Amino acid sequence: MSLMKSLRRWGFVVAAGVLLAGVGMRALAQAAAGSGPNDAQIQTAVTKALDNKRYQDVKSSVQNGVVTLTGSVDLYSSKVAADDRAHHQKNVKGVENQIVVAGPAVDDVTLRNKLAEKLAYDRVGYGTTAFNAFTIGVENGVVTLGGSAYGPMDKDSAMSLVENYPGVKDVIDNIDVAPVSPMDDRIRLAEARAIYGTPQLNKYAIDPAKPIRITVVNGNVTLSGVVDNQGDKDIANIRANGVPGVFKVVNNLQVGDGEPDKSGK
């Protein structure tokens, strides 16, 4: 190899070495400053994504690709939406959501009762109300949703209703979605006919918010809700057990104020 070629190659290596050294120095400087190479672009994108009245009191900062959200919003759904918008920006590695839900102060008992009333009528008209059985717990504005939903849409609707209700500070999702099963669907319809088709129990089909709720998972049936008296609870239990293909019936029906529940079931 000629001397000139050797010098050119050596010179290229030196130049490349200087270039790499320069990149390394910039990386060290960025690390020392606590910022990543994309932080400025991320900050601009997040600021634009949150340019909406519902996020007017939300602030954002970016460090090494991690976005920190602070400030306040009126509804818990706005906190969730701000987090989602920040997460979807290019090069974001994570989001620290420190947003506070300011909103109105509502005591836990009142909040629980209001949510229970709203959920009772949620998706009325879709034909699945009697097959949803949700539980609600509230502590310091934090709502815990549990129980069983007939399908994903029923769960999503319940979650959306709670997340958008004033006074809710946070939501814990413990709702189970019943698995898709033609056998369970057949049992659900058969249970509904057997229970609501009984003259003594037909009254529970009048108000869609106060049905005898029928949960079916893998052939196992759970009855829940409130009935007027012990006789209604017993008849519902008998009718539910009489449906072909049912493996087990758990009777969690509660007897209303009119008569105490003495069965222990």
Highest mean pLDDT among 54-63, 123-132, 207-216: 54-63
Q: Which of 60-69, 79-88, 170-179, 250-259 has the lowest mean pLDDT?
A: 250-259
Write down the mean pLDDT value for the chain: 85
Which residues, 6+ apart, have CB-to-CB distance to 219 below 8 Å? 183, 184, 187, 245, 246, 247, 248
Q: What's the angle, vertex CA 58, arms to CA 139 and CA 34, rounded to 5?
A: 110
pLDDT band at 35 (very low <50, low <70, confident <90, very high): low
pLDDT value at position 262?
A: 43
Tell me how far apart the alpha carbons of residues 170 and 139 are, in angstroms, rounded to a whole number: 10
Mean predicted confidence (pLDDT) in 34-54? 88
Tell me how far apart the alpha carbons of residues 208 and 130 are, in angstroms, rounded to a whole number: 8
Mean predicted confidence (pLDDT) in 196-209? 88
Instruction: Using the predicted structure, report yes or no on whether residue 177 has a pLDDT greater than 80.
Output: yes
The pTM (predicted TM-score) of the whole model is 0.76
Selected from 2.60.40.10, 3.30.1340.30, 3.40.50.1820, 3.40.50.720, the CATH number assigned to the domain covering 39-101 reads 3.30.1340.30
Instruction: Using the predicted structure, report yes or no on whether residue 2 has a pLDDT greater than 60.
Output: no
Mean predicted confidence (pLDDT) in 148-154? 94
Q: Where are the beta strands (DSSP E) in 103-186?
A: 133-139, 142-149, 170-173, 176-177
Highest mean pLDDT among 3-17, 103-117, 160-174, 203-217: 160-174
pLDDT value at position 30?
A: 45
Contact 167, 142 (CB under 8 A): no
Instruction: Using the predicted structure, report yes or no on whether residue 61 has a pLDDT greater than 90.
Output: yes
Q: Class assignment of domain 182-255? A: alpha beta
Instruction: Using the predicted structure, report yes or no on whether residue 69 has a pLDDT greater than 90.
Output: yes
Q: In which region does residue 242 sit, left (phi positive, over 0), alpha (psi from -120 to 50) or beta (all else)?
A: alpha
Q: What's the angle, vertex CA 122, arms to CA 115 and CA 127, rounded to 5?
A: 150
Start-to-end CA distance of the chain, whole Å, equals 95
* Interhelix angle 76-87/152-163, nearest 10 degrees: 110
Question: Which is it for the CA torsion 14, 17, 19, 22, positive or negative?
Answer: negative
Tell me how far apart the alpha carbons of residues 53 and 207 are, in angstroms, rounded to a whole number: 39
Selected from 3.30.160, 3.30.1340, 3.40.50, 3.40.1350, the CATH number assigned to the domain covering 108-177 reads 3.30.1340
Mean predicted confidence (pLDDT) in 75-82? 96
Instruction: Using the predicted structure, report yes or no on whether residue 155 has a pLDDT greater than 90.
Output: yes
pLDDT value at position 170?
A: 95
Q: With H, G, I as helix, E, B as strand and everything else as coil, classify residue 248.
A: strand
Percentage of the chain surpassing pLDDT 90?
73
Instruction: Using the predicted structure, report yes or no on whether residue 80 has a pLDDT greater than 80.
Output: yes
